[in-house]
Chain A
Amino acid sequence: MSAYTDLWTLVVIAGLAGVTLLTRCFFFILDRPWTMPAWAHRALHYAPVAALAGVVAPEVVMQQGHLVATWQDARLFAALVGAALYFWRHSVLLTIAGGMAVYLPLHLGLGW
């Protein structure tokens, strides 16, 4: 992909910076104390995993808008190994290192 800078992306980035500020300061922006409704508290348990899984799953199992038709795809094995390593050792860095150690040989060596 030819990476050029466009204004729209910079606007999105500024918006994301606002999201960082809003979420990190959420309960101490206002002076008076306040609470969230109960349903919002419950949604907090599920929305973060849902958003991440929603972004990640298509990045692993889809190719040009379609489900991958072959098992010979380096991403599938790297994602499985990465997730397994996390549940084994609880280290995100190990997940990345181990996943890439699976991904790169399959992708570059075998062309998967």
Chain B
Amino acid sequence: MAPLAAGVSAWGLMTGVAMVKSGMSVVEALAMTFLVYAGSSQLAAIPLIVAGAPIWVILATGFCVNLRFVVFSLHLRPYLMHLPRWRRLVNGYLTADLTYALFTRRFPAPAEATAQRREQEAYLAGNYGVTWCSWMGASVVGIVLANLIPSAWGLGFAGVLCLIGILASLANTPARLLAAVVAGVAAVAAYAWPLKLNIVAAIATAVLAGFWLEHRLPRSWGRAA
């Protein structure tokens, strides 16, 4: 749990600084940290919010960035379905990337007996409890510290670097890497479009390019490295 807390804290601290240094007010950054609680979609939304993009473009972008959680939720369903809905929703909302990864590694199969189910839920809650506290504590420190750092230093760029790291981690097959390149080029080419529609164009073009490439690349290229 200690390396988990340290890693999450470092990331939370950086996200807190990057949010404020990208133009969010302290109140907005705090609201984002405590409500949204998803670093990559927070950081991806900020340039769009600052540019005044329409809300549906921002939410659609956040949804796409968060699509990995949709895959996780399919995997977690058998672990949680014995619970009432509100507890499923609380567990789901608080289960971010690292908790999902550690939980499913520790428990490769959903429990059948009540005692094991309790054990699994206890592990899940303990893990996301540590993650939540580390993330929130560090983010708040980052948001406060950011006010002491001059904007001219350009620390908002740490948020862009964080997104580049996440992007590199997701681009783990040649087809996904090509989709990322297509999306980047499309977003730059369509930059002058109104309402930040260049992001929508980038997603649509890259998904279609991915579909098209799937059938033309060697089969092994589509698999995760």
A interface residues (Cβ-Cβ under 8 A, vs B):
1, 3-5, 8-29, 31, 33, 39, 42-62, 65, 67, 74-75, 78-79, 82-83, 86-87, 90-93, 95-96, 99-100, 103-104, 107-108
Contacts and interface: CB of A to CB of B under 8 A. Distances in A.
A24 B97 CA distance: 10
B69 A49 contact: no
B161 A48 contact: no
Contacts of A20: 36-38, 41, 62, 66, 69, 93
Interface in B114-159: 151-155, 157-158
B191 A65 contact: yes
B206 A46 contact: yes
Interface in B44-78: 44-45, 47-50, 55, 58-59, 61-74, 76-77
5 contacts: A33-B77, A39-B211, A46-B209, A48-B65, A50-B207
Contacts of B95: 24
B4 interface: no
Nearest to A75: B157
Given A19-B62, A20-B41, A100 B203 contact: no
B interface, how many residues as a size bin?
35 or more
B56 to A, nearest CB: 9
Contact of A17 (B7, B26, B37, B152): B37
A92 B183 contact: no
Contacts of A58: 47, 187-188, 191, 198
Interface of B: 7, 10-11, 14, 20, 23-28, 31-32, 35-38, 40-42, 44-45, 47-50, 55, 58-59, 61-74, 76-77, 80-81, 85, 88-89, 92-93, 95-96, 151-155, 157-158, 160-171, 173, 175-177, 179-188, 191-192, 198-199, 202-203, 205-207, 209-211, 214
